[in-house]
Amino acid sequence: MGMFGIGSPITTARADEPQGTGTGTAAHPSSPIPVQGPPLGQAVRTTLGETGLSVFPLIMGGGEFGWHVDPAASHAILDAYRERGGNAVHTSDSYSAGRSAHIIGQWMHARGIRDEIVVGVRVGSSPEHPGLGAVNLVRAVEGALTRLRTDRIDVLYLDATADSTTSLEDSLATAEWLVGAGKVRALGSFGHTAAQLVEARILSSAGYPRMTVLDVPYNVLHRQDFEGDRRLVAGAQGISFTPSQALEHGFLAGAVRSRSLVAQSVRGVQLASNMNRRGTRTLRALDKVGAELSIPTAAVAIAWLVAQRAVAAPIVNAFAVSHVEEIMQGIGARLSRAQLADIARAAA
């Protein structure tokens, strides 16, 4: 498996931007010839909308930390990510009953790198502090700060999926206090409808903090939740998009392709939903492009995702250092328009 070098600058390209071949000759927009991107490194950064934060165009998710990945292995994953230029992590107060955040906090403290890392935390679905009411929201943030060994959260994602009673205005009022107290730098959304995002922007005109980052599950197989009203609203408001489930619970990595393997996987239920003709077509299309670029299937899935104009930086979980090596190659790979279209067509 080839690895990219570290330390060279890169400008992340979108599908509709001219792409160089590395020889100074621009590739034809519809050319099927694979184009290899520059190396990864510390200069690889994208801006998260109005937050003022600059992040590597792939955010390391902590969904497996403390669950299927022990602390030592989690730290190795985070080290590998950082060595390749990564500077942003994401966790939730519901991940492993808070152990994920604790592991990330231990890692930042031991390395002395808190100021280098952009930390995103999703709150609202923890059994301990459920919902986005004032008391539970403050307690959830305080708990996350303690576990992370830090005094502030860079992006606080408000999870609306588990709270249908607290008004958006009440949640934003609490968030306003958290921002004013220096405990939160920017607000993100998870589970809010397009109408709620519009409402949030209207409320911001009254002085409430803006929701400037959006997390919606999104990948080549799962596009319906974002493409539509949410995409239109996010684009109009300049909201930065950091989608989760970038590999569709691991299916798009291509390691599990038979029902017997699905039955053995901890993600069996989620994987089973894609064990059909559409899923098979999609993996074949990813395999084909991977062979052309000499990169893993998972890297192609990531490359397709970051090529979408709306995407700032996907949130991707990893089980091992080898997985980090695979997915990070997706940032250094550029797909031609023909390749992007072939993958999307296979997944339709």
158-176: pLDDT as tens digits = 999 989 999 999 999 999 9
Using a 10 angstrom Cβ sphere, with 0-12 exposed, 13-18 middle and 19 or more buried, the burial of residue 246 is buried
Contact 119, 78 (CB under 8 A): no
Task: Give the per-residue pLDDT at 261.
Answer: 62
Give 108's pLDDT tier (boundaries 50, 70, 90): very high
Sort residue 26 into left (φ over 0), alpha (ψ -120 to 50) or beta. beta
109-123 pLDDT, tens digit each: 999 999 999 999 999
How far is it, in rounded angstroms, from Cα 33 to Cα 21? 9
The alpha-helical segments, DSSP class H, found in 217-276 are 229-237, 259-264, 268-272
Question: Which long-range contacts (C-beta less than 8 Å, at least 24 apart) are formed by 192-199?
Answer: 192/158, 192/160, 192/168, 193/229, 193/230, 194/228, 194/229, 194/230, 194/232, 194/233, 195/229, 196/160, 196/168, 197/230, 197/233, 197/234, 197/237, 197/239, 198/233, 199/168
pLDDT of residue 274: 76
- State yes or no: pLDDT of 11 exceeds 60: no
Asked whether the beta carbons of 171 and 178 are under 8 A apart, the reply is no
- CATH classification code of 35-346: 3.20.20.100
Question: Using 50, 70 and 90 to split pLDDT, how confident is the model at 270?
Answer: low
User: Which pTM does this prediction carry?
Assistant: 0.87
Lowest mean pLDDT among 69-73, 235-239, 251-255, 256-260: 256-260
Q: Is the pLDDT of residue 24 over 90?
A: no
pLDDT confidence of 257, banded at 50, 70, 90? low
Q: How confident is the model at residue 55 (pLDDT cuts 50, 70, 90)?
A: very high
Hey, where are the domains in the chain? 35-346
Report residue 5's pLDDT band, with 50, 70 and 90 as the boundaries: very low
> CA 316 to CA 106: how far, in whole Å?
20
| Identity at 316, one-letter amino acid code | V
What number is the average pLDDT over the span 34-39?
A: 50
**Averaged over 195-214, what is the pLDDT?**
98
